[in-house]
Amino acid sequence: MAASKKAVLGPLVGAVDQGTSSTRFLVFNSRTAELLSHHQVEIKQEFPREGWVEQDPKEILHSVYECIEKTCEKLGQLNIGISNIKAIGVSNQRETTVVWDKITGEPLYNAVVWLDLRTQSTVESLSKRIPGNNNFVKSKTGLPLSTYFSAVKLRWLLDNVRKVQKAIEEKRALFGTIDSWLIWSLTGGVNGGVHCTDVTNASRTMLFNIHSLEWDKQLCEFFGIPMEILPHVRSSSEIYGLMKAGALEGVPISGCLGDQSAALVGQMCFQIGQAKNTYGTGCFLLCNTGHKCVFSDHGLLTTVAYKLGRDKPVYYALEGSVAIAGAVIRWLRDNLGIIKTSEEIEKLAKEVGTSYGCYFVPAFSGLYAPYWEPSARGIICGLTQFTNKCHIAFAALEAVCFQTREILDAMNRDCGIPLSHLQVDGGMTSNKILMQLQADILYIPVVKPLMPETTALGAAMAAGAAEGVDVWSLEPEDLSTVTMERFEPQINAEESEIRYSTWKKAVMKSMGWVTTQSPEGGDPSVFCSLPLGFFIVSSMAMLIGARYISGIP
């Protein structure tokens, strides 16, 4: 029985999906794209100061090994031999920055996460050095100068961490985003590990020329980054090296894509104009623009979508990036204690079916697309004595949908042809209330695959299609048909517009909370950067105080 089962399955491909909140390893059938088994481990985020977000690179690496081992055990319980796994792909949180010692293999500092805001003063000082009539950073990278991207995080590490400075002086330092750190470690680390990245991850560093597909000397000089610490840039689909340890020792690592590019591939958006929206820690809408770089007039990014082979052409995308999506649910769980598990949010929202005029702008890391406003901070407004945790839960889900509407509107204006429907994926898409809200707020159908793991699927497809592996065909006629679930708008267009316009008012109120100016007598940013909960609690305290003074029981 087991032998026949193995024979039917054929070649399998594994995928590491290393996200901001968790690490997963998933195994797919390369002929049918069926998910056979997976394992997931949640990753800690550290917040050492206001606006700082860090993770432990060694914890991330250990979580990858753990997920691989546990998934292989589960395959054994299904009578599926792990010798069928012919390749491994890597998908990762982008921009998150790691510097490590190539002699010892030890990280020289925690990973500085893409959400981190510590570099705002660095961004402001650098921006003064860009000529107003020649924004060479944006024209070469497709990116605005922002705390979001790796170059300024790396600049901060060089300026502030003595261990990093010393390692660079002694030619021991290596830089990489999470994909580089993982591939170097998994392929041997100090014993011949491969120091590389792919074009999609390189395009998020602000050091990479998206036209020539090379590290850019002018950009590296502008940010003061020594080019010798940068990884070698490869395509998204080729054999980088072999696994050197663990249950899958000897299996090639042959696919690498930043998580949002991986989801674009997993959603099979290979045609110009096809788009997808991924709901993870943040929210990311990508539209395939083909071989042409399209620059946005409405706050979107121009980025590399994929390059599926050394000799294959590069594809580009327009991207709308929202910093906080699933992270707002985690915040309600971990910071406010409104819910015990992330899944409870749907139950709370369902109890009321409305936010009752409450609006939540989760600008914990400022506002990304289309505003790029670092001074914004989170607010909850429209509170009354009737408001309870269920309304706040509903408002949190609405916030994710409103933010998606903003980047979709920008995408439609840039592309000129409005999307007729929205393809979605990511962990939050299992929330049916969220999906219905999204259809209502966009006023177009929302379509999601019944197998939601499209990010991992994209990494697996790239790995399986690599030259020398050749177990996954990306030819249109060979791609598996995906079963989809569809959500149609259920409210009228006028109601949708009223809700959206009120949300926009709330967004305006979230801006300008933080200033870096420190006039004599005190730093206003100490007040301005107080946590969101402070303002909620203070507002409630003032309300209670007013009732007491008025003699209202």
Question: Within 13 Å of residue 409, how many CA atoms lie on the same side as its CB?
Answer: 16
What distance in Å separates the CA atoms of residue 32 and residue 479, rounded to the nearest whole number?
A: 8
pLDDT (mean) for 446-467:
91
Instruction: Please provide the average confidence, as pLDDT, over all residues in the chain.
Output: 87
Q: What is the per-residue pLDDT for 24? A: 95
Please state, in angstroms and as integers, the Cα–Cα distance from residue 551 to each residue in 129, 213, 383, following that order: 59, 70, 22
- Single-letter amino acid code for the residue at 500: Y
Of the listed ranges 199-203, 273-277, 463-467, the one predicted with least confidence = 273-277
What distance in Å separates the CA atoms of residue 93 and residue 27, rounded to the nearest whole number?
A: 19
pTM: 0.84
Is residue 452 helix, strand or coil?
coil
Whether the link from the prior residue into 362 is cis, omega within 30° of 0, is no
pLDDT (mean) for 488-515:
86
Q: What is the per-residue pLDDT for 277? A: 92
Q: What is the per-residue pLDDT for 452? A: 80
Which helix (H) or strand (E) segment holds residue 13: the answer is strand 12-18
Q: Is the pLDDT of residue 522 over 60?
A: no
Residues 362-375: tens digit of each pLDDT = 988 888 888 888 88
Q: Is the pLDDT of residue 512 over 50?
A: yes
What's the angle, vertex CA 94, arms to CA 39 and CA 338, rounded to 5? 60
Among 216-220, 408-412, 519-523, name the most confident range: 216-220
The percentage of residues in the chain with a pLDDT greater than 90, rounded to a whole number, is 55
The answer to whether 273 and 301 are in contact (CB under 8 A) is no
Label each residue of 434-481 as H, E or C.
HHHHHHHHHCCCEEEECCCCHHHHHHHHHHHCCCCCCCCCCCHHHCCC
Q: Is the pLDDT of residue 237 over 60?
A: yes
Strand partners, 175: 99
Instruction: Say how many C-beta atoms besides its own lie within 10 A of residue 431's C-beta.
Output: 21
β-pair type (173-177, 111-112): unpaired
Q: What is the per-residue pLDDT for 534? A: 39
Residues 253-294: tens digit of each pLDDT = 999 999 999 999 998 889 888 889 999 888 889 999 999 898
pLDDT (mean) for 1-15:
65
DSSP codes joined into one string, 117-131:
-TTHHHHHHHHTTS-
CA dihedral of 160, 141, 377, 322, whole degrees rounded to 10:
-130
DSSP codes joined into one string, 73-134:
HHHHHTT--GGGEEEEEEEE-SS-EEEEETTT--BSS-EE-TT--TTHHHHHHHHTTS-TT-
Q: Is the pLDDT of residue 5 over 70?
A: no
Q: Is the pLDDT of residue 520 over 80?
A: no
Confidence bin at 131 (pLDDT 50/70/90): confident
Is residue 326 helix, strand or coil?
helix
DSSP codes joined into one string, 215-275:
E-HHHHHHHT--GGGSPEEE-SEEEEEE--SSTTTT-EEEEEEEHHHHHHHHTT--STT-E
Q: Is the pLDDT of residue 543 over 80?
A: no
Residues 149-178: tens digit of each pLDDT = 999 999 999 999 999 999 999 999 999 999
What distance in Å separates the CA atoms of residue 357 and residue 345, rounded to the nearest whole number?
A: 18
What distance in Å separates the CA atoms of residue 358 and residue 538, rounded to the nearest whole number?
A: 17
User: Which pair of structure tokens corresponds to residue 246?
Assistant: 């663990």
Instruction: Say how many C-beta atoms besides its own lie within 10 A of residue 122's C-beta.
Output: 19
Confidence bin at 544 (pLDDT 50/70/90): very low
Q: What is the per-residue pLDDT for 370? A: 87
> Sheet containing 12-18: which strands, arranged edge to edge?
35-42, 22-29, 12-18, 85-92, 252-258, 237-242
More confident residue, 8 or 203: 203
Confidence bin at 420 (pLDDT 50/70/90): confident
pLDDT (mean) for 131-140:
83
CB-based contacts of 414, cutoff 8 Å, min separation 6:
294, 296, 297, 298, 300, 318
Please state, in angstroms and as integers, the Cα–Cα distance from residue 272 to each residue in 15, 279, 288, 289, 294, following that order: 26, 22, 5, 5, 12
Q: What is the per-residue pLDDT for 516? A: 56
The answer to whether 17 and 183 are in contact (CB under 8 A) is no
Residue-range domains of the chain with CATH: 12-127+134-259 (3.30.420.40)
What distance in Å separates the CA atoms of residue 180 and residue 30, rounded to the nearest whole number?
A: 25
Instruction: Say how many C-beta atoms besides its own lie within 10 A of residue 138's C-beta.
Output: 16
What distance in Å separates the CA atoms of residue 52 and residue 39, rounded to the nearest whole number?
A: 29
pLDDT (mean) for 32-36:
89
Q: Is 278 exposed, middle or buried (0-12, 13-18, 19+ CB in 10 A)?
A: buried
Please give the span between the terminal C-alpha atoms of the chain, in angstroms, as a whole number: 74
* Biggest distance spanned by C-alpha atoms of the chain: 80
The percentage of residues in the chain with a pLDDT greater than 70, rounded to a whole number, is 90
Q: What is the per-residue pLDDT for 480? A: 67
